[in-house]
């Protein structure tokens, strides 16, 4: 445990010195992802041009599917900018093409999410879904990221259900907000450091997952 704490402190220091070298003013926000993205399961290739297009915010077809347990599944999100009306929906089948193919998952709705990580446990999948069934999980939310108006954003993660007993991958499921890692001294220029804090939050969270698995 002592080693674990030392490692965390080293990581915090490394990230803070890195953040101090960042140029300035929002440049640091990632251009590799939208304001909210799937951390697990993996989402389709992101593009700024398509991320407001329903139902999946991507020009890509379902390609790389993540194995997903029939029971005790979860969706882990990374948030780099405050967003609203976050909804998670699912379409059973190989290639959903429209909004109407998706149905909302009960309880999978958040009025607001803040920078950091959030993970939602999914209810058990319906009986008709069995080992080998394909589905697409959709993320839909509102954000004013990079603009002065709210827009709807979409992302999709393609999955294949597997028997829970055969599913051994630890899901990186944790909640953490970037504010938890911002020292008071830094808080005047938080936005510049935002994506470092999100990255740091990711590492700390993963470290926590690993520690939980090991200890």
Which range touches ligand NAG (CB under 6 A), out of 128-136, 163-171, 187-195, 203-211?
128-136
120 is a contact residue toward ligand NAG (CB under 6 A): yes
Tally of CB atoms within 10 A around 187? 10
Whole-angstrom Cα distance, residue 37 to residue 204?
Answer: 18
Structure tokens at 189: 């220029």
Whole-angstrom Cα distance, residue 112 to residue 150?
Answer: 13
Contact characters 143-182, ligand NAG, x per CB under 6 A: -x---xxx---------x------------xxx-------
Note if the bond before 115 is cis, omega within 30 degrees. no
Query: Strands 83-92 and 103-113, how do they pair?
Result: antiparallel
Q: Report the site for ligand NAG in 45-84 (rule: CB under 6 A).
A: 45, 60-65, 84
Instruction: Compute the least distance from the CB of residue 58 to ligand NAG, in Å.
Output: 8
Select from 90, 105, 118, 202 the one that contacts ligand NAG (CB under 6 A): 118
> Any residues with CB less than 8 A from the CB of 71 and at least 6 apart, and which?
124, 125, 164
136 is a contact residue toward ligand NAG (CB under 6 A): no
The footprint of ligand NAG on this chain (CB under 6 A) covers a number of residues equal to 26
Opening angle at CA 187, ends 182 and 192, nearest 5: 90
| Choice between 127 and 185, CB closer to ligand NAG | 127
Instruction: Compute the least distance from the CB of residue 18 to ligand NAG, in Å.
Output: 26
Q: Answer yes or no: are the C-beta atoms of 28 and 80 closer than 8 Å.
A: no
132 is a contact residue toward ligand NAG (CB under 6 A): yes
106 is a contact residue toward ligand NAG (CB under 6 A): no
Binding stretches for ligand NAG (CB under 6 A): 44-45, 60-65, 84, 94, 118-121, 132-134, 142, 144, 148-150, 160, 173-175
């Amino acid at each position: 445990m002592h080693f674990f704490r030392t490692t965390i402190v080293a990581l915090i220091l490394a990230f803070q010195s890195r953040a101090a070298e960042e140029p300035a003013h929002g440049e640091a926000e990632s251009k590799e992802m939208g304001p909210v993205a799937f951390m697990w399961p993996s989402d389709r290739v992101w593009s700024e041009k398509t991320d407001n297009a329903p139902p999946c915010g991507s020009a890509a077809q379902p390609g790389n599917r993540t194995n997903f347990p029939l029971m005790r599944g979860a969706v882990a999100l990374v948030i780099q900018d405050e967003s609203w009306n976050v909804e998670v929906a699912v379409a059973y089948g190989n290639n959903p093409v429209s909004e109407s193919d998706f149905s909302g998952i009960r309880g999978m709705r958040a009025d607001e999410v803040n920078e950091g990580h959030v993970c939602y446990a999914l209810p058990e999948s319906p009986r008709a879904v069995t080992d080998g069934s394909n589905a697409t999980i959709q993320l839909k939310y509102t954000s004013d990221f990079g603009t002065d108006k709210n827009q709807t954003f979409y992302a999709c993660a393609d999955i294949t259900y597997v028997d829970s007993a055969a599913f051994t991958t630890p899901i990186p499921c944790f909640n953490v907000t970037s504010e938890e890692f911002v020292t008071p001294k830094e808080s005047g220029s938080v936005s510049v450091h935002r994506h470092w804090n999100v990255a740091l939050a990711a590492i700390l969270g993963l470290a926590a997952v690993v520690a939980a698995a090991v200890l």
